[in-house]
Amino acid sequence: MAIIKMQKVRAGKPYGLKVVLDYIQNPDKTENGTLVSAKDCLLDCAYQQMHLVKQDYQQLQGRQYVHIIQSFSLSDELTGKMALEIGQKLLDSFNGFQGLVATHTDQQHIHNHLVLSSVNFETGLKWQQSKKGLQALKDLSDQLCRDYGLSVIEKGKGWKSFGENHANAKGGSWKRHLAEVVADAIGQSNTREEFLHFLNAKGIEADFQADKVLFILPDSKKCGSDKLLAYGDFTKENLMNTIQHNELTFMDALNNPPLMYEAVKLASQMLGHEDKSDLQDKFLHGKSLSVLEGNALKHAIHEMKKGGRYESNRSRSDSSKPNSQHYLLMSISTALELLLEEKGREKQYKEPQYNYIDEEDLEL
């Protein structure tokens, strides 16, 4: 897998081009200069030849060069020579532009630097780049990776931008943080309203749209659930399926007295109660649970299911008789009915209507 990033280059003096050419050819980074190649110019006098073209077309002002970085995944089995070949083929796609490609192997991850003159030697026109052109460049890079047996991650299925990967390396991007909050909220929610409530407590609004869920952060930044796929299955369909699964699991547990008895004890441990009978007493006396206690009980049920101690009501023996139910079950049912009634009285969230703004930038 390779990530493409267009470096920001400001207008400057012609000498700026020479500085960047000298940098990318640093022998300490390119295995004594063996991992450098050129296109439509000679390595030894690349700057002079690029400068002559600019003089001929009277294009000495403004932007002097284009700088592209192609970074490869640490998981790929890649040599410096192979990376240089890929970079050279990428460089060859820029018709009419002189350029150099240099492969740097001094860091843990191998990466290519492509530097092109900003003036086309065939037309004399300055470099122009559109979003469509950038996407075509990324597609070509992906195809070259496939040709060399390297991994390729399609956007939307585990893809992260260069900036997002950089932010994660420094402690976490805002998208990663959002994904963690959404995952935590969905794991605790039995209904869409509960999901909205948990997110709202974190200052996040959620708008269930036709094909996605749009999240609005406290700073008004917007992000569709389809933009979080690099961190898991956050599609609208999977979010709704998870909520339904949580609800069915919880309601099925109400008819399983042994499970509920164990869940109450586990929830007490999760809450750090010194007297483990506190929560049990609330059930036995039909008292309402706090939000924290309700969340702990739901989490306990899910943990017991994952641990193999959960038994679906449908799979239990039909020999159990309704009139043999323990008093604890009736008490728990009463308490949970109160919870459900309380939840039913909660006001419906007014889902804000926003026009979805797709976050596209110049990083691919």
- DSSP result, 144-190: HHHHTT-----TTTT---HHHHHHHHTT--HHHHHHHHHHHHHHH-S
- The span from the CA of 148 to the CA of 154, in Å, is 17
For the ranges 81-85, 87-91, 265-269, 301-305, which has the lowest average pLDDT? 301-305
Angstrom distance (rounded) from CA 187 to CA 242: 8
- For residue range 113-143, what is the model confidence (pLDDT) as tens digits? 999 999 999 999 999 988 888 889 988 998 9
Task: Map residue 228 onto helix, strand or coil.
Answer: helix
| d(C-alpha 353, C-alpha 207), whole Å | 7
pTM value is 0.47
Distance CA 182, CA 178 (A): 6
| Position 146 pLDDT exceeds 80 | yes
The predicted model gives 321-341 an average pLDDT of: 42
Q: What is the pLDDT of residue 362?
A: 35
**Element counts in the chain: helices (H) and strands (E):** 12, 8
Query: What one-character-per-residue DSSP string does 233-300 give?
Result: ---HHHHHHHHHHHHHHHHHHTT-HHHHHHHHHHHHHHHT-SSTHHHHHHHHTTPPPPHHHHHHHHHH
* Mean per-residue pLDDT of the chain: 75
Q: What is the mean pLDDT of residues 325-338?
A: 42
Share of the chain above pLDDT 70, in %: 65
In the predicted structure, residue 269 carries a pLDDT above the cut 90: no
The CB density around residue 209, as the number of other CB atoms within 10 Å, is 15
Question: CB–CB of 34/83 below 8 Å?
Answer: no
Query: What span, in angstroms and rounded, lies between the C-alpha atoms of 249 and 234?
Result: 20
How much is the pLDDT for 59?
92
Q: Give pLDDT tens digits for 191-230.
A: 788 888 889 888 999 999 988 999 999 998 999 988 887 7
Other C-beta atoms lying within 10 Å of the C-beta of residue 92: 12
d(CA 72, CA 113): 12
Alpha-carbon span 130 to 138, nearest angstrom: 13
pLDDT at 183 over 80: yes
Which residue reads 């909660």 in tokens? 346
Please give the domain boundaries of the chain with CATH numbers for all domains: 2-152 (3.30.930.30), 175-359 (no CATH)
Contact predicate 259/309, CB 8 Å: yes
- The pLDDT score that the predictor gives to residue 153 is 54
What percent of the chain has a predicted confidence (pLDDT) above 90? Answer: 31
What number of other Cβ atoms are within 10 A of residue 37's Cβ? 16
Tokens for 12, please give them. Answer: 């400057």
Beta strands 99-104; 36-39: pairing state: antiparallel
> For residue 351, is pLDDT > 50?
no
User: Which tokens hold the place of 196?
Assistant: 């909205």
Reading the block at residue 81, the tokens are 């020579």
| More confidently predicted of 175 and 25 | 25
CA distance 235 to 228: 8
Which range is least confidently modeled, 88-102, 113-127, 188-202, 239-253? Answer: 239-253
The answer to which of 129-143, 259-273, 344-358 has the lowest mean pLDDT is 344-358
Phi, psi of 208 (to 5 degrees): -75, 105
Q: Can you give the pLDDT at residue 244?
A: 74
